């Protein structure tokens, strides 16, 4: 990580109108945020509670109790950092670096959703709103039970805690990364952390690495592929930015540009290339069809945004970058992509059992389109609607489609509000990646990563794994911060 930070330092001759040596409170918080992001994937992607001496029975049952340890640590760590940071702002009598008004519509939508989650868990709501399962439980037990919209208030509370943890990471990145130097440092660090976990998986040290597939410290290789893809898109954007700056010294002389390119690849530009190679190799060896295809979409979005930003049809630098990147990715794919091609040839692009899960989940959504069943209650709700098309074992606690779970839990209106609050932030990054004259790479990476995780959320539950979500929120927060600061 130190090496990555050094690269970030070398990119900037001066730190945003202040000395490099003059570290601020925000720099310290950025360091702790990066440290937290480095920790999050370690404990089974922050999804399980027993990283060592794993009890396979616990995993097969999908119990929630084994997830409370990492969820609890993250729920204290990141919101705690936000609380301390906000207190220090008040003490220092300083405004927020990125004003709330810059994202006010997203904040309003998010606040409405959080308020609705509290209402779903409330026991004082009208009886007509309460789910019938509470009355059935009261009749069966022969005693009075206070009902709610949520069919499982404990699950809704846990889901709300995870949601607020993700919001905390976004808020920290939004405030800390209005300084372009810190934003780049965060992105370099995320790429470096991703490369470290990729190396763990490729070396066979990962907890769930098999002889055929790589999942590093994650239980599920599909979830790991999404996390790894975030690192790859991040490092790719930084590589393109780095070489773009290096080749500017060549003017319009093609030979000089080629000489500068070769020279950079053998010196200070070698480290990011090695990191990218490690990350993409682990991605391919994950064998995840959805993860690899989603990452490919993220890469394509990034290249398109870079081309659009040039404000010309194609510049010499942009054309050269795109050709080199496509050739490099193609070479790696043809060298190590047999697992992906083999899985697609054998299993196709989808699994029939997922379609059955989607169908049943949609049926449940139609049964309660406005009120929903309570945020995060999919395991309990799916058990009510499960039919013979799905094997009764094992228990299912994920729909393999984040959007359907959101609509099922929150209802159509408030589910759309939650998704819309994120989409609005992505739109801001898309606009900034084309309009900004400086540091446009950062919002471009954030937008590209958003497309990556957004596509994969259609076929899997990676966004419900905190290592993926918290890293994504950090990248998105940095992109939005730069979109408004323009620094």
Residue 27, classed as helix, strand or coil, is: helix
15 — phi, psi (to 5°)?
-90, 90
Separation between Cα atoms, residue 89 and residue 248, nearest integer Å: 40
Contacts (Cβ under 8 Å, ≥6 apart) of 106: 421, 422, 424, 425
Gap between the Cα atoms of 119 and 211, Å rounded: 48
Handedness of CA 213, 336, 281, 441 (dihedral sign): negative
**With 50 as the cut, is the pLDDT of residue 235 above it?**
yes
pLDDT of residue 485: 80
Q: What is the rounded average pLDDT of the residues 298-312?
A: 81
Sign of torsion over alpha carbons 191, 193, 199, 201: negative
Helix axes 441-456 and 221-247, enclosed angle (nearest 10): 160
pLDDT tens digits, one per residue of 269-303: 678 888 998 999 899 888 888 888 899 899 999 98
DSSP string, 143-182: S-----SSS-HHHHHHHHHHHHHHHHHHHHHHHHTTSHHH
Spatial contact of 120 and 157, defined as CB atoms under 8 Å apart: no
Q: How far apart are CA 464 and CA 402, in angstroms?
A: 8
How many Å from the N-terminal Cα to the C-terminal Cα in the chain? 24
User: 3-state DSSP call for residue 90?
Assistant: helix
Domain with 79 in it:
2-485
| Percent of the chain's residues with pLDDT above 70 | 75
In whole angstroms, give the CA distance from residue 321 to residue 325: 6
Distance, in Å, from the CA atom of 234 to the CA atom of 187, rounded to the nearest integer, reads: 6
- Determine the Cα–Cα distance for residues 180 and 98; give it in Å rounded to an integer: 13
- Whether residue 215 has pLDDT greater than 60: yes
User: Could you give the CA distance from residue 470 to residue 345 in angstroms, rounded to a whole number?
Assistant: 33
Q: Say whether pLDDT at 58 is over 50.
A: no
CA distances from 417 to 108, 109, 266, 378, 473 (A): 9, 6, 49, 19, 17
Q: 245: which DSSP letter?
A: H
Cα gap 268→215, rounded to integer Å: 30
At residue 9, does pLDDT exceed 50? Answer: no
Query: Whose structure tokens read 């599920």?
Result: 220
Q: 417: closest CA among 117, 125, 100, 128?
A: 117
Q: Answer for the pair 94, 118: CB distance below 8 angstroms, yes or no.
A: no
Q: Which of 154, 159, 62 is nearest to 395 (CA)?
A: 62
Whole-number average pLDDT of the chain:
82
Q: Which of 222, 117, 226, 106 is nearest to 167 (CA)?
A: 106
How far are the Cα atoms of 318, 328, 403, 431, 442 from residue 305, in angstroms, in the given order? 11, 19, 26, 10, 11
Count how many domains the chain has: 1
C-alpha span between 176 and 158 (Å, rounded): 27
Write down the pLDDT at residue 135. Answer: 87
At 304, list the tokens: 């398109």
pLDDT over 60 (residue 355): yes
Contact 85, 175 (CB under 8 A): yes
pTM: 0.86
Q: Which two tokens stand for residue 449?
A: 């990563």
**Which pLDDT tens digit goes with each residue over 106-149?**
999 999 999 999 999 999 999 999 999 998 888 888 788 889 99
From 19-28, 177-186, 253-262, 452-461, the region with the lowest mean pLDDT: 253-262
């Amino acid at each position: 990580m130190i090496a990555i930070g050094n690269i970030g330092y070398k990119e900037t001759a001066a730190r945003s109108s202040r000395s490099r040596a003059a570290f601020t409170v925000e720099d310290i918080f950025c360091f702790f945020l990066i440290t937290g992001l480095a920790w999050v994937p370690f404990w089974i992607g922050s999804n399980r509670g027993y990283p060592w001496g794993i009890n396979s029975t616990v995993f097969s049952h999908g119990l929630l109790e084994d997830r409370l340890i990492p969820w609890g640590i993250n729920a204290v760590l990141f919101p705690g950092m936000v609380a301390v940071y906000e207190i220090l702002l008040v003490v220092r009598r300083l405004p927020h670096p990125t004003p709330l008004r810059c994202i006010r519509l997203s904040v309003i939508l998010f606040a409405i959703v959080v308020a609705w989650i509290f209402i779903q868990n409330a026991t004082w709501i009208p009886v007509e709103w309460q789910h019938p399962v509470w009355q059935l439980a009261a009749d069966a037990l022969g005693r009075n039970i206070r009902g709610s919209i949520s069919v499982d208030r404990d699950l809704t509370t846990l889901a709300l805690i995870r949601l607020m943890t993700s919001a905390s990471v976004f808020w920290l990145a939004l405030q800390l990364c209005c300084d372009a130097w810190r934003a780049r440092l965060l992105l370099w660090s995320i790429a470096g952390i991703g490369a470290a976990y990729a190396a763990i998986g490729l070396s066979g040290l990962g907890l769930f690495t098999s002889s055929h597939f790589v999942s590093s410290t994650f239980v599920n290789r599909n979830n790991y592929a999404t996390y790894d893809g975030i690192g790859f898109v991040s490092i790719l954007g930084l590589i393109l930015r780095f070489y773009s700056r290096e080749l500017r010294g060549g003017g319009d002389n093609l030979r000089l540009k080629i000489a500068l390119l070769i020279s950079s690849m053998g010196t200070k530009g070698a480290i990011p290339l090695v990191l990218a190679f490690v990350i993409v190799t682990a991605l391919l060896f994950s064998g995840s069809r959805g993860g690899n295809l989603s990452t490919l979409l993220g890469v394509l979005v990034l290249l398109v945004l870079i081309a659009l930003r040039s404000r010309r049809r194609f510049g010499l630098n942009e054309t050269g970058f795109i050709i080199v990147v496509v050739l490099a990715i193609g070479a790696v794919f043809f060298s190590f992509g047999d697992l992906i091609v083999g899985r697609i040839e054998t299993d196709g692009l989808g699994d029939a059992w997922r379609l059955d899960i989607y169908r049943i989940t949609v049926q449940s959504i139609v049964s309660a389109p406005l009120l929903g069943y309570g945020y995060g209650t999919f395991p309990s709700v799916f058990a009510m609607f499960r039919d013979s098309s799905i094997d009764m074992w094992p228990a299912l606690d994920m729909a393999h489609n984040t959007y359907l779970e959101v609509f099922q839990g929150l209802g159509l209106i408030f589910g759309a509000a939650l998704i819309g609050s994120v989409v609005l932030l992505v739109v801001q990054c898309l606009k900034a990646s084309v309009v900004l004259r400086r540091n446009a790479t950062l919002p471009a990476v954030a937008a590209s990563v958003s497309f990556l995780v957004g596509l994969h959320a259609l076929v899997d539950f990676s966004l419900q794994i905190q290592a993926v979500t918290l890293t994504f929120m950090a990248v998105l927060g940095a992109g939005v911060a730069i979109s408004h600061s323009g620094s």
